[in-house]
A and B are shown apart, each in its own frame.
Chain A
Amino acid sequence: MKQIAVISGKGGTGKTSLVASLAALAKGRAVIADCDVDAPDLHLILRPEIKEKREFLGMKRAVIDPSKCTLCGSCEEHCRFGAVCGSAVDPLLCEGCGVCKLVCPAEAVSMVDRLSGHAYVSETRFGPLVHADLFPGEEASGKLVAMVREMARELATSRNLELVLIDGSPGIGCPVIASLTGVDLALVVTEPTISGEHDLERILDVTEHFRIKAQVCINKYDLNPDVARRIEDLCAERRAEVAGKLPFDPAVVEAMVLGKPVVELGGPAAEGIKDLWRALDVCP
């Protein structure tokens, strides 16, 4: 089984639209995993039928029993996240460390499990999809990404599928690292803007840091051909192959509105994606 993570550094470069099309091109040979749990949009195109739902427990939260609390202030003094005020805990600030419980002389604090989201196994017309929703404002998105990936691997093994196709999140931090760990290939989607160029450089530093092979897709390359060329030079220097260059194509948004992958609509971007698919090092 091979795993590809589609990531980007900069947000909004077209990861999800690309993954939806790659899923269509994989024609049932891949498990698709939506690991952008903060902003999961793949389901809007793949329109999954949910088969299984699992609870995701994030970090525990402290709860203070006011009938036992003596308002001694010990927990407030020791909490480094500023989450305790009197006998109240702010659930948005509490990071679930348990220090308040440790220092409470009245045994008034308990650490409770907290339902932070759900993960799903679904069927789509392009193959199985594992996806999730993280409740608004929750933390531990990296932990949920790890759960989605574990479920996707199990599914690929049990159904004897050769590929796990991961839609990652923007950035370089916790959910991105969780999406990248142990993959065979990172496909980095960028755009020819100075932000896209700058963010590509940082994400390539990250793939290098974790020793993961990277290929690059330059989306909307014709928006600024000069910056696109600079990006190609950067990729050559960093030994990250440019696997595809996609032109700006209004069909991409049209397809999104219709809830379809753009390869089903056709057009220049769709053709570019088909070439890209063949150029991917782990394409089955």
Chain B
Amino acid sequence: MIVSIASGKGGTGKTLVATGLAASLDRVQLVDCDVEEPNAYLFFPDRRLIEKAECCVPVPVVDEAKCTHCGTCSDFCAYHALAALPSQVLIFPELCHGCGGCILACPENAISEETRPVGEIFRARSGEKEIIWGELSLGEARTTPLIRAVKGMAKGELTIIDCPPGTSCSMVEAVLGSNFCLLVTEPTPFGLYDLDIALKVLEKMNIPRGVLVNKSGIGDKKVYQYLEEKGIPLLMEIPMLRRIAELYSRGTIFVQEMSEWKARFRDLLKNIEELVS
């Protein structure tokens, strides 16, 4: 089963929940798909790195000896990753989506492909648990190939995916293929507004979902009214406690110090399993 932990708004507690859930279970793979700012691994200081790989994407190469500078490739490219000038073709690798269309479109067969790295993938072990994450290289704009590659490393029976914030392509790529998505929100106007957008994404994707309200006690009650009106299951609440925030701030998974939460997280997983079946 694949359970993804997502949210529209950033900083609602995705990593807090993903690490808390993982720490409450024995055998699990925790996959951090927030490749722009991966943090989940920081909470497992005893981790042992067992694998490290580069994530590479295709990029076109023009054979200037064959190229007639006709401009067909740059006219075709929807991403403006090639610009055919009178005497050479400029390539902007960060813009390329690797569709391969320029190769097919070139009438002179002057374009071929090589690959270039856009980030790294790491796999580590902490006890019976596996932590997998990706790290996007600086200056790279596109996250989706790396997110796909990171997810490809997960093959266990139970996978928890820590998603990037937002509601566009990175989030879609991270939750794609999940059996269930748990949306983490906070009971504030910002939390509610972004939760609503995230729920619409999951509706489009047909992914079963439920909500966890973190930092309960702050803000207002509108998120609860919203969930009731829409009939969306509220699966757990974590109160706003200075202790939890302090433990998080120093990189301690709070369930390790507040062990009564482990059983609550295991119940959460049971609830999710029931909702999925």
Contact = CB atoms under 8 A, between A and B. Distances in A.
A194 B167 contact: no
Closest 10 CB pairs of A and B: A12-B11, A11-B10, A97-B99, A38-B166, A171-B36, A139-B169, A136-B200, A174-B141, A224-B249, A193-B249
B204 A97 contact: no
Interface string B66-87: 0000000000101100000000
Given A136-B198, A199-B37, 5 more contacts: A95-B99, A192-B249, A224-B250, A253-B188, A256-B189
A211 B59 CA distance: 26
Given A59-B78, A136-B204, A137-B172, A259 B189 contact: yes
Contact of A195 (B39, B97, B143, B170): B39
Contact of B197 (A102, A136, A142): A136
Interface of A: 8-13, 16, 37-39, 41, 44, 59-60, 78, 80-81, 92, 95-99, 102-103, 134, 136-142, 169-177, 191-195, 198-199, 202, 205-206, 209-210, 223-224, 226-227, 250, 253, 256-257, 259
B165 A11 contact: yes
Contact of B143 (A95, A174, A192): A174
A228 to B, nearest CB: 9
B142 interface: yes
Interface stretch (B100-108, B231-239, B260-268): B100-108
B42 interface: yes
A141 B34 CA distance: 17
Nearest to A44: B189
A98 to B, nearest CB: 6
B132 to A, nearest CB: 17
Interface in B188-232: 188-190, 193-194, 197-198, 200-201, 204-205, 218-220
B20 interface: no
Given A102-B105, A256-B219, A171 B139 contact: no
Contacts of B42: 194-195, 198
A219 B142 CA distance: 29
B interface majority secondary structure: loop
A209 B245 CA distance: 32
B189 to A, nearest CB: 5
A12 B37 contact: no
B189 A38 contact: no
A interface majority secondary structure: loop
A209 B249 CA distance: 28
Contact of B165 (A38, A95, A102): A38
Nearest to A208: B138
A13 B9 CA distance: 11
Contacts of B193: 39, 41, 44
B256 interface: no
A171 B78 contact: no
Contact of B140 (A139, A173, A259): A173
A59 B138 CA distance: 24
Nearest to A96: B78
B167 A39 contact: yes
Contacts of A37: 168
A193 B167 contact: no
B98 A134 contact: no
B93 interface: no
A12 B164 contact: no
